Amino acid sequence: MYILARALKNVGIENVYGLVGIPITEAAYLIQGQGIRFVGFRHEQQAGMAAATEGFLTKKPGVLMTVSSLGFMNGLTATANATVNCYPMIQISGASDPTMVDMNMGTYEQLDQFNTAKPVVKAAFRCSHAKDIPAAVSRAYRAAVSGRPGGVYIDMTTPALGEIMDRDEAEKLFYESVDMYSPVAPNAESVDRAVQVLTSAKRPAILLGKGAAYAQVDDKIKTLIEKYNIPYLPMSMAKGLMPDAGPLSALSCRSTVMEKADVVIVIGARLNWMLSFGRGKWNPDMKFIQLDVDPEEMDVNVPIAAPVVGDMGLALDAILAKMDGAKMSADPAWVSSLQAEAKEKNAKFAARLDATKGLMPMHHWTALGVIKPIIEANPDIILINEGANTLDDTRDAIDMTIPRHRVDCATWAIMGMGMGSAIGAAVATGKSVVAIEGDSAFGFSGMDFSTACRFGLPLTVVIFNNGGIYNGIGVPMDKTTDPAPTTLDIHARYDKLGEAFGAQTYYVQTPDELRAALTESIASKKPCLIDVQLAADSGKESGHIGYLNPAPLQDIT
């Protein structure tokens, strides 16, 4: 166990998120003994979300520690989610003796965790001997951050954890791992092709994904955009990489970019369901230039005219060097027409917020009209956001200006990442965090608000309580006295839950109360929870993505 703690220290791990029990309790103490922070959670999935968020924000793998069987499985959901989202993290789980598992002897918490994890992680290692631990940790780190980042699993078996070694012998196992992330440059031909396509574009645009935010190459992206006057469209977690309200932001002209642009540079984004697979309403003659570290991402749903495979920083360096002030062929009316459209759309949006200003009880937009200026005046706050309507409306309402200050439920559009991600963001960065949560979304991770309280983190949780999943007006279909499947509790007092753990709490019913509570909470830099009472009919089925329901369900409103 000491070897594990020492191995984590050796590769520079600063925080471990987890939940102790047999067989990892002592390891957690020893990890603290190495000067590594051990953040103990109430549910492994949230500890995993914290580790994944640290990975996204820092480019270093976040570490999750779980007990065997159920704890392992709970944590694995977050590790799988991290892999899908390309966040580097390492899940280390206590595991039963594999020789007993393999013989199906019915040992304590018996589960073939190694093979259970394999299909949903980037790499997996099983340590059956203490001497293997340093190499496993080092290789897991490398696997998590190299190429396309992702979740890595280490099966830390009880025999390996309990093995006693001579201290001098053990010390010899450690080595300094060098060059843990080795950026790979794209080939020159691909760069030439990309520059040729870009400079001949009439209506170019840039699509920024969370891979672009993750890569921490903010200045290079800014140079490409500003020097060559290219409008940009950020995906939700790339918001702020360039200012959402900047003069070249095409945030409010998404459809126009999809339909009218002739060349789009996809930077660290995937043309998946969130981008209509690059088909449908996209201009059928579109030429895509795609920058991605993973060659297998090219041509996934649509042919890529100019794939540039390699590390984002090196790819942008090569493109900028090749461009070298080259003249663009862009139609000057392209940018000005997008700017005119943005102006019109933004005015419409402001009017929409304004129209809900006095609604009582408040609606999502009423509350967001209050929250928007407060968050925008504090751009260094990291915003965590999940829910259905709460996610969609908050994403649309709040402009971001700083990179990597927004973490949401990402590629799988899951619920249940809130408290873990908020805690991970606060621990990894030391910054203040505001989590804007739907009442349903909060339910998945609510107990881990207590973790933020125990660690005294500067986290404000804002719960939009409309009493249900989507909304609180569901009607049961058959003769039952049970609540409808979508109904939660419009009268629930989430603030009292916060009170139980010593947080500063508020129950707000009016815009003025919300304004005062949020301002005070942020200033306190302490754990705070605000229950925002919304109307039960605020919000619609599945938010903006109702079209993804099987057809018959869409008719039920």
Which residues make up the interface to ligand ADP (CB under 6 A)?
85-86, 148-149, 209-211, 214-215, 235, 237-238, 268-270, 272, 274, 292-294, 297, 311-312, 411
> CB of 368 within 8 A of CB of 515?
no
For residue 285, the minimal CB distance to ligand ADP (Å) is 22
486 binds Mg ion (CB under 5 A): no
User: DSSP string spanning 379-435?
Assistant: TTSEEEEESSHHHHHHHHH----STT-EEESTTTT-S--HHHHHHHHHHHH---EEE
Q: What is the DSSP string of 148-197?
A: S--EEEEEEEHHHHH----HHHHHTT------SS---PPPHHHHHHHHHH
Residue placing its CB nearer to ligand ADP in the complex, 51 or 312: 312
With respect to Mg ion, which residue has the nearer C-beta, 71 or 498? 498
CB of residue 536 to Mg ion, shortest distance in Å? 9
* Cα–Cα distance, 345 to 519 (Å, whole number): 29
The enclosing H or E element of 438 equals: strand 433-438
Residue 126 interacts, among Mg ion, ligand ADP, none and using kind-specific CB cut-offs from 5 to 8 Å, with: none
φ, ψ for residue 307 (rounded to 5)? -75, 135
Contact criterion met (CB below 8 Å) for 51 and 17: yes
Residue 438 interacts with which of Mg ion, ligand ADP, none, CB < 5 to 8 Å by class? Mg ion
Q: Which does 381 bind (CB under 5 to 8 A by kind): ligand ADP, Mg ion, none?
A: none
214 binds, among ligand ADP, Mg ion, none (CB under 5 to 8 A by kind): ligand ADP
Binding partner of 244, given Mg ion, ligand ADP, none, CB within 5-8 angstroms per partner class? none
CB of 54 to ligand ADP, least distance (A): 16
Closest distance to ligand ADP from the beta carbon of 5 (Å) = 29
Compute the distance between CA of residue 261 and CA of residue 257 in angstroms, rounded to an integer: 5
Tokens of 543: 């938010």
Task: Select 138 or 440, whichever has its Cβ closest to Mg ion.
Answer: 440
CB of 126 to ligand ADP, least distance (A): 27
Q: Which of 220, 232, 235 has the alpha carbon at shortest distance from 311?
A: 220
Least Å from the CB of residue 384 to Mg ion = 16
Q: Kindly tell me which of 209 and 498 has the beta carbon lying closer to ligand ADP.
A: 209
Burial (CB count within 10 angstroms: exposed 0-12, middle 13-18, buried 19+), residue 38: buried
- DSSP class of residue 24 equals T
Task: Look at residue 466 and give the partner it binds from Mg ion, ligand ADP, none, a contact being a CB closer than 5 to 8 Å depending on partner kind.
Answer: Mg ion
- The token pair that represents 390 in the structure block: 């709460």
Q: What is the 3 state secondary structure string of 488-548?
A: CCCCCCHHHHHHHCCCEEEEECCHHHHHHHHHHHHHHCCCEEEEEEECCCCCCCCHHHHHH
Nearer to Mg ion (CB atom), residue 79 or residue 538: 538
- Of 371-379, 436-444, 477-485, 502-510, the window that binds Mg ion (rule: CB under 5 A) is 436-444
Which part of the chain contacts Mg ion (CB under 5 A), choosing from 48-56, 135-143, 304-312, 460-468?
A: 460-468
Q: Which of Mg ion, ligand ADP, none does 234 bind, CB closer than 5 to 8 A by kind?
A: none
Q: Specify the stretch interacting with Mg ion by CB under 5 A; choose among 96-104, 264-272, 415-423, 437-445.
A: 437-445
Name the residue number minimizing CB distance to ligand ADP: 211
Closest contact distance (angstroms) between CB of 317 and ligand ADP is 12
CA-based nearest residue to 346, from 235, 245, 242: 245
- Give 113 or 236: the residue with its C-beta nearer to ligand ADP: 236
Rounded CA separation 406/384 (Å): 6
Closest separation in Å from C-beta 380 to Mg ion: 28
Q: Bridge-partner residues for 153, per DSSP? A: 91, 124
CB closer to ligand ADP, 309 vs 338: 309
- Of residues 132 and 386, the one with the C-beta less far from Mg ion: 386
Smallest distance, Å, CB 408 to ligand ADP? 10
Whether 50 and 17 have beta carbons less than 8 Å apart is answered as yes
Per CB under 5 A, the segment of 117-125, 208-216, 221-229, 462-470 that binds Mg ion is 462-470
Q: Considering the complex, what minimum distance in angstroms separates the CB of residue 510 from Mg ion? A: 19
Q: 10 Å Cβ neighbour count for 377?
A: 10
Q: Applying CB under 5 A, does 466 fall inside the site for Mg ion?
A: yes
Among 44, 439, 495, 541, binds Mg ion (CB under 5 A): 439
Binding at 269: pick from ligand ADP, Mg ion, none (beta carbon under 5-8 Å per type): ligand ADP
433 φ, ψ (degrees, to nearest 5)? -130, 135
3 vs 407, which CB is nearer to ligand ADP? 407
Report the chain's C-alpha Rg in angstroms: 24
Residue from 75, 159, 438, 527 that binds Mg ion (CB under 5 A)? 438
Which residues are at the interface with Mg ion (CB under 5 A)? 438-440, 466
